[in-house]
Amino acid sequence: GNSVTQMEGPVTLSEEAFLTINCTYTATGYPSLFWYVQYPGEGLQLLLKATKADDKGSNKGFEATYRKETTSFHLEKGSVQVSDSAVYFCALRANTGNQFYFGTGTSLTVIP
């Protein structure tokens, strides 16, 4: 079946620290992979995506590379800001069927 596993939080970092949030997946076929972000009191919004192996998604300084050999899509940012404090969700959409599968979310708090 399809599933997403992401590292548990919460994660607390100082401003300008390096961020990695691990995400691995299980899927039949060749899924598309996404990172969504949820700021306090808001719905989820797309942060970045990759639709095929070796693709790199990037946005707002965040990036993630679709690694088929390790079935991973780790989220990274070189220097986090207080405004990056949010919950981050890794997700996949299988190429058959219509469902998105989300990880449980990782809460990030960045302190000044």
Partner 1 sequence: DSGVTQTPKHLITATGQRVTLRCSPRSGDLSVYWYQQSLDQGLQFLIQYYNGEERAKGNILERFSAQQFPDLHSELNLSSLELGDSALYFCASSKTPGTGGEKLFFGSGTQLSVL
Q: d(Cα 13, Cα 11) in Å, to the nearest integer?
A: 7
Among 20, 59, 83, 95, binds partner 1 (CB under 8 A): 95
Three-state DSSP state, 84? helix
Q: Name the nearest CA neighbour of 87 among 37, 21, 33.
A: 37
* By CB under 8 A, residue 44 contacts partner 1: yes
Measured from the CB atom, is 17 or 24 closer to partner 1?
24
Q: How far is the CB of 88 from partner 1 (least distance, A)?
A: 12
Residue 54 CA to residue 74 CA, distance in Å, equals 12
Whichever of 51 and 71 has its CB closer to partner 1, that residue is: 51
Among 1, 40, 41, 112, binds partner 1 (CB under 8 A): 41
